A and B are shown apart, each in its own frame.
Chain A
Amino acid sequence: MHVGNGIGRREFLRGGAGMVLGGSLLSAGCGVGQETGSEEAVKKVVPAKVDGDLLVFNWTEYMDPKLIESFEDRYKVKVRTANFDSMPSMMAKLRSGNAYDVIFPTADYVNRLVQANMLLELDKEKLRNAETIYPFFDNPWYDAESAHTVPYAMYTTGIAWRDDKVDGISGSWNDLMNESAKGKVFMLDDFQEGIGQANLLNGFDLNATGEEELEQTQATLEQQKEYLRGYSTNAAPQLLSGAAWIHHAWNGDIINTRNQAKKNPEIYKFETCKEGIPVGSDCMAIPVNAKSPGTATLFIDWILDPVNASQNIQYHGYPMPIEGSEDSFAELAADDPAIEVSTDDLESGSQFKELTVQERKAWDRVWTEVKA
């Protein structure tokens, strides 16, 4: 009766496919068909003009509403928004046949959507601002030649801390076991982030799944647990309320925290760790069953405009890979370059990859044994 899970920033972002049941029913011939596209449907030619009102499916508070209003005024259309709380949830709604015009999947989910023929190909000729996107995204791992997507925002995982409370921060994942903050540390309540950082700390690959590696990683997590006050995906309130002195966090969390702490934002610090930096990105895409793909194309172009992007960054607090929007984020990150995400970070950082069923089970087992 109470809610849902969703409690948390990207807790589920990377999980697995979640709600793809609809798809498997399809393959079993049970007739939940219409929602998955065919190869031809994906190539539908879309006019770059208004072809109806727009329905945007996004995280809440992830886009400046003023940007939407200005789009409505410019093109004389109505834009409606619906929200999801996690990637599995978004997938569920797409599979159920609900028709949205623009969606915001994370990179690994783009991979799945593309494989299921659920995204329209984007005509880059019709996106005037496509050339402002960093070249790093010309041919990303999740979408060959960026045929179906444009990037939206980028993020890294690191450690946030209260400079007024904690000493001896060392730029390592070991800071989650900082003695001066014992009992005041929160780990992200996300099994991929949790296991990922312990893997990195042990010198393994972010996505390591070997039996011996996981054994050692589990030992590390149990050792870290001694220092924990809890697991959470809400760094900002935890840091602001004094519950957390150290919080395993995403870079946008610290912007959010600082924005709320008008009086002394400088005491909230963020670091990325020398053993390795998990990085990721969100994208914009048009589902095959979109009712107004033309308006959707115009909308995506609107968001990519460097001036609009700069405005948007001020609202959601994450850097965007759009040339000409850098100053806007630099202003937010102020004195702390660790918060920024450069394409160098994207190139040198580690991305969570898709695990097989067996690998996922092994990770889940470790996480459950640590938490039980």
Chain B
Amino acid sequence: MRGGYDRPRFLWLVTALTYAFLFAPIAVVVLFSFNGEKSLQVLDGLSFRWYEAFWNDDELRESLMASIQIAAITTVVSTVIGTALALGVIRSRGKTGSWLGILLLIPLVTPEIVAGVSAFVLFAQLGVHLSLTTIILAHITFSISYVVVVVRGRLATMGTDREEAALDLGATPWQAVRLVTLPALWPAILAAAMIVFALSFDDFVLSFFTTGETPQPLPVRIYSALRFGISPTINAVGTVMMLVSALFIGLAVALPRLLGRQESGMAVLTGRSE
């Protein structure tokens, strides 16, 4: 049993350290959200003033809601389109699919500023007034490639035997996709959806160029704050977001068991049992 390949204890240590790395700055963010002073460098007394400021700031709340809305719609649409593309690229034989597969990497390489400027010029040319809709269109465009790459990564390891077996048993091709292929792809689709949500929620450049007057998505407000310093209110917003999400994740895991079911909520959500 050498090398740690099969030793949970060693592997858990690596994993724990990685989570510590991911969450170390988060702890600082949470800490400074309780800062008594307006500073992200100097901690001076504890207070809830930044939570109060967040609570009283209608526009900041609107920005947060706008960001959630943008990320949610982007996630759903790009995951659907991207998964379909991945299926087409991998499963169809011939040159079309494989070239498309390469071309689909181009959006990943595009520096965001260039993506933002060209999207902005396109909308201007078409005379479209900028709004949440234009932001969502731009976000979807650049999220599709992420979905394709992730889903394809899993699809490539799956053979077609089970789909063919389903066909032999009398399923239509659509049924085979729905009942056999998609369930097997769930982990990848879910992973892709999470990546897209995170990307979209945190995006600034593309959002800035495609946003209308108000509400501006949250990252636009944050990046604009650089000239005169970010207010700890932003830390309070982040802390609340994290808590709410962690709560959801916790509930998804715990609730079904409290209700006496065997599977976790995530498993229910993903339509599979463990």
Contacts and interface: CB of A to CB of B under 8 A. Distances in A.
Direct contact of A and B (CB under 8 A): yes
Interface of A: 1-10, 19, 21-22, 25, 30-32, 55, 59-62, 80-85, 89, 92-93, 95-100, 233-234, 236-237, 240-241, 252, 256, 259-263, 316-317
B225 A96 contact: no
B199 A1 contact: yes
Contacts of A236: 41, 229
Contacts of A1: 112, 142, 199, 202-203
A314 B226 CA distance: 18
Q: Which of A1, A92, A95, A97 has the most chain B CB atoms closer than 10 A to its own CB?
A: A1
A237 B219 CA distance: 20
Contacts of A317: 228
B124 A4 contact: no
B42 A261 contact: yes
Contact of B213 (A9, A21, A99, A237): A99
B10 interface: no
B36 to A, nearest CB: 9
Given A32-B124, A99-B213, A240-B42, A83 B225 contact: yes
- Dominant secondary structure at the A interface: loop
B227 interface: yes
Given A22-B124, A84-B208, A97-B124, 10 more contacts: A7-B226, A55-B214, A59-B227, A83-B221, A83-B224, A96-B124, A237-B40, A240-B39, A252-B228, A260-B38
Contact of A3 (B37, B127, B205, B221): B205
A259 B229 CA distance: 12
A6 B211 CA distance: 16
A82 B218 CA distance: 11
Contacts of A62: 227-228
B204 interface: yes
A240 to B, nearest CB: 4
Given A4-B112, A85-B223, A61 B229 contact: yes
A25 B125 contact: yes
B219 to A, nearest CB: 7
Interface in B122-155: 123-125, 127, 129-130, 142
B209 interface: yes
A3 B213 contact: no
A73 B117 CA distance: 39
A60 B129 contact: no
